[in-house]
Structure 1
Amino acid sequence: MSAKARIVPAGPAAVAEAVKVLQDGGLVIAPSATHYGVFCDPENAEAVARVFEAKRRTKFGPLTLAIPDPAEIGKYVKVPDFVDDAVLGRLLPGLITPIFFKDHPFPEQMTMGAPTIGIMCHGRRPQYDITQVFGPIALTSANLSGAGGALVTREQALEDLGSSVDLFVDGGPVTWDDAAGQDQGNTVADFTFDVPYLVRAGRFPTEDLVEIFPNLVTDPAEYKKALTGRMGQVRT
């Protein structure tokens, strides 16, 4: 584990350095379109374990898979028939993390034993640019577990995890979206049950999601019941 992360400004040189760090099994912090995240090679079990160690994660919080192109989604998950190409095109690229059944042998810790995984693809901030060169990355917010707020800022990411990663890509401040209020992250929705569930409200408007999926269950408490039925009692 690094004593102190190397801090580099966002740009082509930072992308190249980040790719090298990921190839070597290291951890990188960089901003996305919504907040600062920490990420690693999703095929490297030791790197995935380092993310959980850095976060001090004790609750149920699988890592998300950020992909460079929505067209590649079928390599990693099983997309249900009701999310056809036209529907998927309304979601990705976009400020939403849809959850599907996984169809790839990721390290077990990455999904914390769940048969599902969230997929992300949005923006052209440094994090997205890195996926264009490296390929898919496993990621989560760059804050200590339980210490997240509406927005994980550059300052919080550096304070919480700056000494636990190998490279910090400084992309400046992340932008606050007034329309999203306190829901500044990606909207998260689970499409692996009989009906789709809203897991967390975010920057992809819930009303737009309901327009696409009129049977969407929008009460996160109902989702927790469904998740408990599948996984047993989990701390979220």
Structure 2
Amino acid sequence: MSYTQTIQTAVDVLHRGGVVAYPTEAVWGVGCDPFNSQAVERLLQLKQRDPAKGLILVAAAIEQLEPFLTGLSKQHCQTLNQYWPGPYTFLVPANKQVPDLIKGQHSSVALRVSAHPLVAELCRAFGGPIVSSSANIAGQPAPTEAKQVQSQLGDGLDYLLPGQVGDASRPSEIRDLLSGKVLRQG
């Protein structure tokens, strides 16, 4: 299967409400359509993740995240443009566009524009952001190889997008956009 075909297969699975694993900058991720609540619930069950924790949305470009950025100051938007694309996840105040399962118990939503070419191409082909969470069962190590994803999530996945993780040594840094506080070092 060609590169274009593998991306299209992943997009088709996402549009059908499936759960897809894909390589990111540092670890393998798992995602779905953030606006399909059944798909998000399946992903949370597969990972055995507490829904209260919320999930990250990843996109190919800041434009794909604009519906979630309403009300931000020019300075905050400049900060996002300075760090994206890249291994930085920002918590921004959640607006009504953010599904409850994505924000969890939080009043913010976690957003990232990926610098990984495969993630960016997947989001471009999908036409918007997708859920991005490490492709592991909660509490287990985040996988850096496809075989580790298969051993942890296996049959629960609808598709594993072939590829390699990037050369980042740690998952993305998580930072609160309004306060600048770093919640997870990158």
Identify the match of residue 150 of structure 2 among 155, 158, 168: 158
Task: State the alpha-carbon separation in 1 of the partners of residues 85 and 167 from structure 2.
Answer: 19
Task: State the alpha-carbon separation in 1 of the partners of residues 99 and 77 from structure 2.
Answer: 28
Please, which runs of 5 or more residues in structure 2 have no aligned partner? none
Identify the match of residue 19 of structure 1 among 11, 15, 18: 11
Query: Does the aligned pair in 2 maintain the 1:41–1:47 contact within 8 Å?
Result: yes
Q: For 1:188, give the aligned amino acid.
A: I
Query: Does the aligned pair in 2 maintain the 1:32–1:127 contact within 8 Å?
Result: yes
Query: Does the aligned pair in 2 maintain the 1:63–1:140 contact within 8 Å?
Result: yes
Q: For 1:55, give the aligned amino acid.
A: K
Q: What is the CA distance between 1:79 and its match in structure 2? A: 5.7
Alignment match, 2:176: 190
Alignment match, 2:140: 147
Q: For 2:54, give the aligned amino acid.
A: P
Identify the match of residue 199 of structure 1 among 159, 173, 183: 183
Q: Deviations along 1:110-151, whole A, 9 cap, x unmatched?
A: 2213221111112243222110111211120000000025x5
Number of aligned residues = 185
1:83 aligns with 2:75: yes
Please, which runs of 5 or more residues in structure 1 have no aligned partner? 1-8, 203-236
Structure of greater Rg: 1
The SS at the match of 1:29 is strand
Q: For 2:131, give the aligned amino acid.
A: A
Alignment CA distance shift 1:31-1:113 (3 Å): same
The SS at the match of 1:66 is strand
Alignment CA distance shift 1:188-1:25 (3 Å): same
The SS at the match of 1:138 is strand
Calculate the aligned-residue CA RMSD, in Å. 2.1
- Residue identity over aligned pairs, in percent, reads 23
Alignment match, 1:120: 112
Normalised to the residue count of structure 2, the TM-score between the two structures is 0.88
Query: Does the aligned pair in 2 maintain the 1:32–1:128 contact within 8 Å?
Result: no
Task: State the alpha-carbon separation in 2 of the partners of residues 189 and 24 from structure 1.
Answer: 32
Task: State the alpha-carbon separation in 2 of the partners of residues 10 and 63 from structure 1.
Answer: 30
Describe how 1:25-174 pairs up with structure 2 within 5 A. Answer: 25-58=17-50, 60-78=52-70, 80-81=72-73, 83-134=75-126, 135-149=128-142, 152-172=144-164, 174=165
Greater RCO, 1 or 2 (C-alpha within 8 Å, sep 6+): 2
Query: Does the aligned pair in 2 maintain the 1:99–1:119 contact within 8 Å?
Result: yes
